[in-house]
Amino acid sequence: MQKVLRIGTRDSQLAVWQATLVQSLLKEAGVLSELVYMKSEGDIDTVTPLYALGVTGVFTKTLDAALLSNRIDIAVHSMKDVPVQLARGIQQAAVLKRASHKDLFIPHPALKNAKEVLDATASEPNSLESAIVATSSVRRIAQWKRRYPHHTITNLRGNVNTRLRKLGESNWVGAIFAAAGLERIDLRPSNAIELDWMLPAPAQGAIMVVCREKDDYAFQSCQSFNNEETALCTKIERDFLSGLMGGCSTPISALAEIIGDKINFKGNIVSPDGSLISETEISLLKTGATDLGFKAAKEVMNKGGKHILDLFRNKGLTTNGEV
């Protein structure tokens, strides 16, 4: 009898969509599977800001424990939520082809001229001093405050559906979301604004599948949908994060893109209040890009990144988790 792979997933709509996608890809490869639903600590506590939870892998550790205790065989994660150092006994089995890496500004439903408002407040700060923008991501906060230092940031937690509902019930100008999450479950509002100036979280838009080490059946079952280009780019981005000794909710951003035979990389770290930035942009041949993430991290550290990290840690904010 063929083995049935047990796929561990959080029970939010987006997480289940991602796990169901993996299930369909396994089916195409002739592998039987079933979904096993769980709640992570990040799903249970939807009020505390992520940076205040003080937990590494707040969205992944429940599934990690289930893997290691043999209650599931693979787990499906939004890759940007996964700590750069996987739990002992767990290995990366596949990285799916990346969706959009971009962040979106979702205006309050009653705000009809959001783009004009944002353009105006960037050039004339006094025009909307009381603007309130919602996000729980310190990376987004730092980059937003750099562009709109006069805006007020408020915490926004919960799954995608919950956050959209909270936005509609609020007095906020808008909130910031990952494009991939909204698009995957067909919830991207028609008035969404792509934030082309905002650099994404490392591995944003990618899905990672993990399994136990030495579980050859689970590992091999996932190889047919492992996307090598996305795996390479996200490795470089996560190496950059690792090289800066940052977690998923430090204000560190990175994007590696393959263009022809080259990899273009952009990375930065921004101070919590947005006043300081250390950044780099590097283009290398793919054949010589193995250590690109670490090289970029060293450059950023030497250009003031270490000082920014120290400021961040002194505020007690360095933890993991971003949605």
- Crossing angle for the helix pair 13-28 and 160-168, nearest 10 degrees? 150
Q: Give the span between the Cα atoms of 174 and 303, in whole angstroms.
A: 33
Output the CA–CA distances (angstroms, integers) from residue 156 to 92, 137, 146, in the order listed. 30, 9, 19
Whether 215 is catalytic is no
3-state SS record for 187-249: CCCCCCEECCCCCCCCCCCCEEEEEECCCHHHHHHCHHHCCHHHHHHHHHHHHHHHHCCCCCC
Longest distance between any two alpha carbons in the chain, whole Å: 69
Output the CA–CA distances (angstroms, integers) from residue 236 to 44, 162, 201, 233, 285, in the order listed. 32, 32, 12, 5, 13
Residues 20 and 289: beta-carbon distance below 8 Å: no
Residues 68 and 87: beta-carbon distance below 8 Å: yes
Q: Give the span between the Cα atoms of 129 and 96, in whole angstroms.
A: 42
Q: Which two tokens stand for residue 51?
A: 């940076």
Residues 213 and 134: beta-carbon distance below 8 Å: no
Q: Which is the catalytic residue, given 43, 64, 81, 239?
A: 81
DSSP three-state, residue 55: coil
Q: How far is CA 117 from the centre of its chain?
A: 27
Active-site residues, by number, are 81
